[in-house]
Amino acid sequence: MPNTASIQHPTWLTTGDFTESSEPFQLFTSWFEDAKRSEPSNPNAMALATVDRDGLPNVRMVLLKGVDADGFVFYSNNESQKGGELVSNPQAALAFYWKSLDRQVRVRGSVMPVSEAEADAYFASRPRGAQLGAWASKQSSALESRFAFEKAVAVMTAKFGVSAVPRPPYWVGYRVVPLAIEFWHERPLRLHDRIQFKRDTPHGGWTKTRLYP
Protein backbone atom coordinates (compact mmCIF):
# COMPACT_ATOMS: atom_id res chain seq x y z
CA MET A 1 0.00 0.00 0.00
CA PRO A 2 1.32 3.49 -0.82
CA ASN A 3 2.09 5.90 1.96
CA THR A 4 -0.62 8.46 1.30
CA ALA A 5 1.07 10.98 3.56
CA SER A 6 3.92 11.21 1.04
CA ILE A 7 1.69 11.91 -2.00
CA GLN A 8 2.36 15.37 -3.41
CA HIS A 9 -0.39 17.31 -5.15
CA PRO A 10 0.54 19.36 -8.23
CA THR A 11 1.49 22.91 -7.27
CA TRP A 12 -1.51 24.32 -9.15
CA LEU A 13 -3.78 22.49 -6.68
CA THR A 14 -2.23 24.01 -3.59
CA THR A 15 -1.05 27.47 -4.62
CA GLY A 16 -2.93 30.39 -3.06
CA ASP A 17 -5.95 30.62 -0.78
CA PHE A 18 -9.24 30.74 -2.66
CA THR A 19 -11.00 32.06 0.45
CA GLU A 20 -9.22 35.38 -0.09
CA SER A 21 -10.88 35.90 -3.49
CA SER A 22 -13.30 38.83 -3.73
CA GLU A 23 -14.78 38.18 -7.20
CA PRO A 24 -16.54 34.86 -7.96
CA PHE A 25 -16.22 34.77 -11.76
CA GLN A 26 -12.43 35.08 -11.66
CA LEU A 27 -12.31 32.36 -9.03
CA PHE A 28 -14.60 30.12 -11.07
CA THR A 29 -12.46 30.61 -14.18
CA SER A 30 -9.35 29.66 -12.21
CA TRP A 31 -10.99 26.50 -10.85
CA PHE A 32 -12.39 25.64 -14.28
CA GLU A 33 -8.92 25.84 -15.83
CA ASP A 34 -7.65 23.52 -13.08
CA ALA A 35 -10.48 21.10 -13.88
CA LYS A 36 -9.61 21.09 -17.58
CA ARG A 37 -6.13 19.85 -16.66
CA SER A 38 -7.30 17.38 -14.04
CA GLU A 39 -10.67 15.87 -14.96
CA PRO A 40 -10.49 12.81 -17.27
CA SER A 41 -13.77 13.61 -19.07
CA ASN A 42 -16.13 16.56 -19.53
CA PRO A 43 -14.78 19.08 -17.01
CA ASN A 44 -17.61 21.34 -18.22
CA ALA A 45 -20.34 18.92 -17.09
CA MET A 46 -22.82 20.49 -14.68
CA ALA A 47 -26.07 19.47 -13.05
CA LEU A 48 -28.94 21.73 -14.07
CA ALA A 49 -31.96 21.91 -11.76
CA THR A 50 -35.30 23.39 -12.81
CA VAL A 51 -38.86 23.27 -11.46
CA ASP A 52 -42.04 22.29 -13.31
CA ARG A 53 -45.44 23.98 -13.11
CA ASP A 54 -46.40 21.84 -10.10
CA GLY A 55 -43.28 22.82 -8.18
CA LEU A 56 -41.64 19.41 -8.67
CA PRO A 57 -37.89 19.77 -9.24
CA ASN A 58 -35.99 18.21 -12.12
CA VAL A 59 -32.23 17.76 -12.49
CA ARG A 60 -30.03 16.52 -15.34
CA MET A 61 -26.47 16.86 -16.58
CA VAL A 62 -25.71 19.40 -19.32
CA LEU A 63 -22.50 20.96 -20.64
CA LEU A 64 -21.28 24.46 -19.90
CA LYS A 65 -20.55 26.17 -23.21
CA GLY A 66 -19.58 29.64 -22.06
CA VAL A 67 -18.93 31.67 -18.93
CA ASP A 68 -18.19 35.33 -18.39
CA ALA A 69 -19.23 38.14 -16.06
CA ASP A 70 -22.78 37.89 -17.43
CA GLY A 71 -23.30 34.25 -16.42
CA PHE A 72 -23.12 30.58 -17.37
CA VAL A 73 -24.30 29.46 -20.83
CA PHE A 74 -25.70 26.15 -22.08
CA TYR A 75 -27.76 25.14 -25.13
CA SER A 76 -30.83 22.98 -25.58
CA ASN A 77 -34.08 22.43 -27.43
CA ASN A 78 -36.65 24.86 -26.04
CA GLU A 79 -39.40 22.33 -26.78
CA SER A 80 -37.80 19.85 -24.38
CA GLN A 81 -38.90 19.27 -20.81
CA LYS A 82 -36.25 21.61 -19.45
CA GLY A 83 -37.18 24.20 -22.06
CA GLY A 84 -40.81 24.16 -21.00
CA GLU A 85 -39.87 24.42 -17.35
CA LEU A 86 -37.62 27.41 -18.04
CA VAL A 87 -40.49 29.15 -19.86
CA SER A 88 -42.85 28.75 -16.89
CA ASN A 89 -40.20 29.45 -14.27
CA PRO A 90 -37.03 31.08 -15.66
CA GLN A 91 -34.85 30.27 -12.67
CA ALA A 92 -32.31 27.49 -12.24
CA ALA A 93 -29.53 26.06 -10.13
CA LEU A 94 -26.24 24.58 -11.34
CA ALA A 95 -23.75 22.29 -9.61
CA PHE A 96 -20.23 21.48 -10.75
CA TYR A 97 -18.29 18.69 -9.02
CA TRP A 98 -14.68 17.99 -9.91
CA LYS A 99 -13.81 14.79 -8.10
CA SER A 100 -10.14 14.91 -9.06
CA LEU A 101 -9.84 18.26 -7.26
CA ASP A 102 -12.25 17.68 -4.36
CA ARG A 103 -14.06 20.85 -5.39
CA GLN A 104 -17.67 21.84 -5.91
CA VAL A 105 -19.34 25.02 -7.19
CA ARG A 106 -23.05 25.76 -6.82
CA VAL A 107 -24.89 28.50 -8.74
CA ARG A 108 -28.43 29.87 -8.34
CA GLY A 109 -30.08 32.57 -10.39
CA SER A 110 -32.41 33.67 -13.13
CA VAL A 111 -32.28 32.38 -16.71
CA MET A 112 -32.27 34.48 -19.87
CA PRO A 113 -31.96 33.48 -23.54
CA VAL A 114 -28.70 34.27 -25.29
CA SER A 115 -28.86 36.43 -28.41
CA GLU A 116 -29.78 34.94 -31.78
CA ALA A 117 -26.29 35.80 -33.06
CA GLU A 118 -24.62 34.04 -30.12
CA ALA A 119 -26.76 30.92 -30.62
CA ASP A 120 -26.09 30.94 -34.38
CA ALA A 121 -22.33 31.22 -33.84
CA TYR A 122 -22.20 28.34 -31.39
CA PHE A 123 -24.45 26.10 -33.50
CA ALA A 124 -22.19 26.71 -36.51
CA SER A 125 -19.21 25.52 -34.46
CA ARG A 126 -20.79 22.11 -33.66
CA PRO A 127 -19.88 18.95 -35.57
CA ARG A 128 -22.15 18.40 -38.56
CA GLY A 129 -23.56 15.19 -37.08
CA ALA A 130 -24.62 17.07 -33.96
CA GLN A 131 -26.25 19.75 -36.10
CA LEU A 132 -28.26 17.15 -38.00
CA GLY A 133 -29.19 15.44 -34.76
CA ALA A 134 -30.61 18.70 -33.44
CA TRP A 135 -32.98 18.80 -36.42
CA ALA A 136 -33.89 15.11 -36.14
CA SER A 137 -34.53 14.94 -32.39
CA LYS A 138 -37.90 15.83 -30.87
CA GLN A 139 -36.23 16.10 -27.51
CA SER A 140 -38.14 14.68 -24.52
CA SER A 141 -40.93 13.28 -26.75
CA ALA A 142 -41.71 9.57 -26.81
CA LEU A 143 -39.55 7.63 -29.32
CA GLU A 144 -40.92 4.40 -30.79
CA SER A 145 -37.51 2.89 -31.55
CA ARG A 146 -33.85 3.69 -32.06
CA PHE A 147 -34.37 2.97 -35.76
CA ALA A 148 -36.96 5.75 -35.99
CA PHE A 149 -34.42 8.25 -34.68
CA GLU A 150 -31.70 7.01 -37.05
CA LYS A 151 -34.18 7.28 -39.93
CA ALA A 152 -34.96 10.88 -38.95
CA VAL A 153 -31.24 11.67 -38.96
CA ALA A 154 -30.93 10.10 -42.43
CA VAL A 155 -33.82 12.22 -43.69
CA MET A 156 -32.14 15.40 -42.43
CA THR A 157 -28.81 14.31 -43.91
CA ALA A 158 -30.46 13.98 -47.31
CA LYS A 159 -32.37 17.24 -46.89
CA PHE A 160 -29.33 19.40 -46.28
CA GLY A 161 -26.95 17.47 -48.55
CA VAL A 162 -23.62 19.27 -48.66
CA SER A 163 -25.04 22.70 -47.76
CA ALA A 164 -24.56 24.38 -44.40
CA VAL A 165 -26.94 23.23 -41.68
CA PRO A 166 -28.81 26.20 -40.18
CA ARG A 167 -29.76 26.41 -36.54
CA PRO A 168 -33.26 25.06 -35.83
CA PRO A 169 -35.54 27.80 -34.50
CA TYR A 170 -36.19 25.77 -31.35
CA TRP A 171 -32.49 25.18 -30.59
CA VAL A 172 -31.51 28.00 -28.25
CA GLY A 173 -29.01 29.10 -25.66
CA TYR A 174 -29.70 29.90 -22.03
CA ARG A 175 -27.67 32.06 -19.68
CA VAL A 176 -27.93 31.49 -15.95
CA VAL A 177 -27.37 34.92 -14.37
CA PRO A 178 -26.31 34.15 -10.81
CA LEU A 179 -27.50 35.75 -7.63
CA ALA A 180 -25.46 33.27 -5.57
CA ILE A 181 -22.27 31.32 -6.27
CA GLU A 182 -20.84 29.00 -3.65
CA PHE A 183 -17.39 27.39 -3.64
CA TRP A 184 -16.58 24.28 -1.62
CA HIS A 185 -13.17 22.66 -1.22
CA GLU A 186 -12.66 19.41 0.67
CA ARG A 187 -10.24 19.50 3.59
CA PRO A 188 -8.97 16.74 5.93
CA LEU A 189 -11.25 15.55 8.73
CA ARG A 190 -14.25 17.11 6.96
CA LEU A 191 -13.09 20.60 7.99
CA HIS A 192 -13.92 21.87 4.52
CA ASP A 193 -13.72 25.41 3.16
CA ARG A 194 -17.04 26.86 1.99
CA ILE A 195 -17.38 30.40 0.65
CA GLN A 196 -20.59 31.98 -0.64
CA PHE A 197 -20.93 35.06 -2.85
CA LYS A 198 -24.38 36.70 -3.01
CA ARG A 199 -25.90 39.78 -4.61
CA ASP A 200 -29.40 41.27 -4.63
CA THR A 201 -29.62 42.12 -8.35
CA PRO A 202 -28.14 40.49 -11.48
CA HIS A 203 -25.55 43.27 -11.87
CA GLY A 204 -25.07 44.26 -8.26
CA GLY A 205 -22.01 43.99 -6.08
CA TRP A 206 -21.07 40.76 -4.34
CA THR A 207 -21.14 40.03 -0.62
CA LYS A 208 -18.85 37.22 0.50
CA THR A 209 -19.55 34.99 3.51
CA ARG A 210 -17.67 32.03 4.92
CA LEU A 211 -20.08 29.20 5.80
CA TYR A 212 -19.77 26.28 8.16
CA PRO A 213 -19.13 23.16 6.04
Question: What residues are labeled active site?
Answer: 190
Amino acid found at 95: A
Q: How many helices (H) and strands (E) does the chain have?
A: 6, 9
| Residues 48/82, Cβ–Cβ less than 8 Å | yes
| Residues 202/196, Cβ–Cβ less than 8 Å | no
Q: Are strands 66-68 and 193-198 parallel, antiparallel or unpaired?
A: unpaired
Instruction: Please write down the HEC assignment for all residues of 129-143.
Output: HHHHHHHHCCCCCCC
User: How many whole angstroms separate alpha carbon 91 and alpha carbon 122?
Assistant: 23
| Residues 77/52, Cβ–Cβ less than 8 Å | no
| Residue 49, beta-bridge partner list | 59, 93
